[in-house]
Chains A and B, each alone.
Chain A
Amino acid sequence: MRGIRSFSTRLSLNIVYFTSILFVITLGIVAVSSTRLISEEAETSSRHLLRSSILQIEKTLKSVEATVEACSWDVAEDIYRPDKLFSYTQSVVKESKIIRGFGIAFASDYFEGKKYFCPYSYKDSEGNIHTRNIQGPEYNYFYSDWYLLPSLMKEPVWTEPYHGDAGLGVPIITYCYPLLDEENNVYAVLVADAPVQWMADITKDIKPYPNSEVFLYGISGSYISLGNDSRYDGETLLSVALQSQDAAKAHAVCEVIINNDNGIIKFTDEGQRTKFMVFGSLSNGWKAAISCEYREVLKRAWKMNFNMIIIAIFGLIILFIICYTTIRRLTQPLMEFSKTAMSIAEGNFNTALPKINSDDEVKDLRDSFEHMQTSLNSYIKELQSTTAVKERIQSELNIASSIQMSMLPKNFPDHNLVDIHALLKPAREVGGDLYDFYLDGDLLYFIVGDVSGKGVPAAMFMTVARTSFRFAASMEVPVNEIVSAMNNAACEGNDSNMFVTLFVGKVNLKTGDMEYCNGGHNPVVLVTPDGKPAFMDVKPNLAIGLFPDFPYVAQSMHVESGSRFVLYTDGVTEAERADKQQYGDGRLLAWAEGIQKMDSSEEACESLFSSVKAFVEGNEQNDDITIMIIKIQ
């Protein structure tokens, strides 16, 4: 069981993974868009609601203002009958639903002998109307806001909420209307007191969201208390702000409200609730505001987003199941192919392939598999045949090698005048090097040669060269004639233009006289009895097999007793290491310096071969190596 590592599981998970990413991105975009849209919609609707609330409040304020203004005409007409003014104040309070207290505060000594004169009526909580003249040092209205503000400003003013001492006993706001004489001096101020409760009655139903709050601020930024909510009694926008944790931020928010007629601000309150507040101005300079929590505003959007997430999770699960089953169904043949491949790998080339009914890539795969199976069958058959041929050729080559080696002398004479030994190490099964020697009485004929090329052709040409040497040597002719005879024999029918470099020598073992002829071969190293090695002075001549009847020149010399000849092919001096450095003449001469210390030519042969092998450091032998060492006793 591969479990989660199976192709179908991984592919299904990948599909679900990328689909999830797409979904998250899409949901994110939808969530942001819907949040923004719903927020904007809530802000707009709150603005409208605020505007309509302001209109409702202003409607009531205007009704008070209209009542007071209408009364001002009556007061002006009856100004000379001060006692009648009490009835005006009574009737205003009686008829108005909003005005709970009404008074006419005259300037000091407006009526002769009356420093204070202020007819005032108010309606108590049970609806009884009380009327009196507010006067005396215990209530010096000349210093009250409601008297001073219209007197100084000479225009009507709404006061901010306060606890009046005139009898109402509840927080009130007062509309103060100045009466001006012809010289524009204020001679009286009409005052209409209204409990702030009516504003609470208007605003209590303004709740766009359950936790929404409505605020009214006076001209000086003081909270106007609404209803029984006493949280903000005596507070101002800034005093509340300064009590918050982030006072600086709250202060900045307040300044926006203070310095602008209307607008919207967004902030985070003490409970870390993100809110927005729309605010607007009333005609009397007050400000109204509605605050809403985004949490509530966006509840609908979040619910929708939550549903989308749930649906998406279900969708992803279903998608995974569908993908998994579909991919598993589609990849079932692959598993069968896998089993088939394993069977074929075990040598069952005729294993039946699974049946594919579809016409798709899997069918193509089956066809390819079938073609591979057929090709594999024929290849194996061909391979078997080729291997048989190769084995046969190898066998024949081994035989050829054996024959070639058998042609070379293996038995070296145990002679008191000469110690001769040679070895040949072909690079392939058969080689193109040759060596041979021939003892005729006291005369020793010897040859070392190297056929151009390698392998079977070189071996065959070597055979020709060796045979012709034996034949020519038996003729007891000078060595240059031996070489010439060999040359003519090699040139005959040499369509493939092969040639042989060689060194042929003849030594009289008793006298030490020696003849030799070099046919384009490496110069022989002569080591004198005192152990000094040097290349012999040889004329180059030409390799045999190139030009018939070439006049080969022989040379002669006298060999001291104890001298040693080192004959070799270029497989010795051109033996290469991996770094392409060759064994070379220098190393050969250096090696030859120690040859006189060796007991026998056989030991010397093995020593030189070992020196070469050590030099190449295991690099593959790329040419035949032939070494012949002759010591004249």
Chain B
Amino acid sequence: MRKVLTIFFLSLICTTLAAQKVTFMPQWTAQAQFAGFYVAKEKGFYEDEGLDVTIKHIGNTSTETVMDQLLSGKVDIAEQQLLPSMIERSEGAKLVNVWQLTQVCALCAVAKKPLSTPEDLEGMTIGRWTTAYIELADVLQIINGINAKWVSAFNPVTLFMYGAIDATLCTSYHELNSILLKKGNIPEENILRFSEFGFNSPEDGLYVTEKYYKRNKPAIEKFVRASRRGWDYARQNVKEALEITRKYTDEGHVITNDVMQEHMLKEYLKLIVNPDTGVADYAPVKEDVFINLNKLLYDIGYITRHLDYKEMIKCEE
């Protein structure tokens, strides 16, 4: 009996001391958009919190979304945008936001001809991604009364560069710069930044299932704490963060270059800054913003039930 008890306590101690395994999935293939998480991993910030984090990327030709991976339990924590997460939750997915990273909207549109308002996209063939900003594109189309032909693609920018489409959605931190690096120069009047037209919702945040949240709240807090440390470090050590990112892009066979990644990280770090406070404080999504978004989605029929702020937003101040 003594032997059994000894074995039981030893195994209990080992289980307690062993690092908790966490699988994390960013919303796209490896790039500097996720540099803070790579830094936290490579600099041992997750280990410091007693976490054994595995960063897993989604395939660049897969239509399976990060949310699919999260909801199916293939990953524990996923990085996702607020809007699609709200839609998923309205459709029954038990998702909660545990940390908000970016504070503003990075979505742009680039066209072959000048774009002064979203209405100028009327009638155009517009490229968009298969997994990101889909809902936002629809929302924008609906609220602006635009009748455009959307083309979903893994690389809408390539379609635009070949001249196969009239315009493409892009982010200010990635594709816009990618186009500039390829085409040389694009007139500023051909770029439409949606944040300048009343649509400036927060985007990237960390999401877990309610089930995971209830069972692993301490681990989630540790993950958020280490991730925040990673992002703070990346903000202060851009060069090193880029070198770390490069390891992940190389491993993922991502066709990119240093200039693009550097630009991406620098632009992305701007999105982290809270426009209300002027600092990167990783503030939770504000309740009024959440309610307004909820109302908008409901009004245009994108969701069929209202969401509760406190049920979904579980960020710690």
Contact = CB atoms under 8 A, between A and B. Distances in A.
Contacts of A258: 183-184
Contacts of B154: 143-145
Given A220-B158, A220-B183, A243 B259 contact: yes
Nearest to B65: A137
B98 to A, nearest CB: 27
Interface string A240-252: 1011000000010
Interface residues of A, number: 36
B114 interface: no
Contacts of A152: 125, 151, 159, 164-165
Interface in A11-34: none
A155 B257 CA distance: 30
Contact of A137 (B63, B153, B255, B258): B63
A236 B155 CA distance: 16
B181 A239 contact: yes
A510 B258 CA distance: 142
A251 B184 CA distance: 8
Contacts of B180: 238
Interface in A132-159: 137-141, 143-145, 148-149, 152-153, 157
B182 A220 contact: yes
A247 to B, nearest CB: 10
Overall SS of chain B's interface: loop
A217 B293 CA distance: 44
Given A140-B130, A143-B152, A239-B257, A259 B162 contact: no
A149 B162 contact: yes
A161 B181 CA distance: 17
Interface in B161-195: 161-165, 180-185
A221 B184 contact: yes
Contact of B61 (A140, A149, A236): A140
B181 A148 contact: no
Contacts, number: 96
A163 B255 contact: yes
Given A138-B62, A220-B182, A242 B259 contact: yes
A364 B60 CA distance: 103
Interface string B127-154: 0001000000000000000000001111
A353 B71 CA distance: 125
A137 B61 CA distance: 9
B159 A138 contact: no
A136 B183 CA distance: 34
Given A137-B62, A145-B158, A255-B184, A239 B260 contact: yes
Contacts of B255: 161-163, 222, 233-234
B59 interface: yes
Nearest to B180: A238
Nearest to A256: B184
A65 interface: no
Contacts of A162: 255
Contact of B153 (A148, A243, A254): A148
Interface in A317-371: none
Contacts of B63: 137, 140, 143
B182 A222 contact: yes
Contacts of A153: 162-164
Contacts of A141: 61
Contact of B181 (A139, A145, A160, A238): A238
B253 A163 contact: yes
A234 B256 contact: yes
B64 interface: yes
A444 B312 CA distance: 162
B60 to A, nearest CB: 8
Interface string A185-224: 0000000000000000000000000000000000111100
Contacts of A238: 180-182, 184, 259
A352 to B, nearest CB: 93
A148 B130 contact: no
Contacts of A144: 61, 153-154
A58 interface: no
B184 A219 contact: no
B184 A254 contact: yes
B162 A140 contact: no
B254 interface: yes
Contact of B162 (A163, A219, A239): A219
Contacts of B164: 148-149, 152-153
A148 to B, nearest CB: 5
A393 B114 CA distance: 122
A259 B182 CA distance: 11
Contacts of A585: none
Nearest to A251: B184
Contacts of B162: 149, 153, 157, 219-220
Interface in A522-581: none
A242 B154 CA distance: 27
19 contacts: A144-B154, A145-B154, A148-B153, A148-B164, A149-B158, A149-B159, A149-B164, A152-B125, A219-B161, A220-B161, A221-B183, A233-B255, A234-B257, A238-B184, A239-B257, A239-B260, A242-B181, A251-B184, A255-B185
Interface of B: 59, 61-64, 125, 130, 151-155, 158-159, 161-165, 180-185, 253-260
Given A140-B62, A160-B158, A220-B162, 12 more contacts: A137-B63, A140-B63, A143-B130, A145-B153, A149-B159, A152-B159, A153-B164, A219-B162, A236-B182, A238-B184, A239-B258, A243-B259
Please provide the 3 A-B residue pairs with the shortest distance between their CB atoms, ordered closest to farther: A220-B182, A152-B164, A239-B259
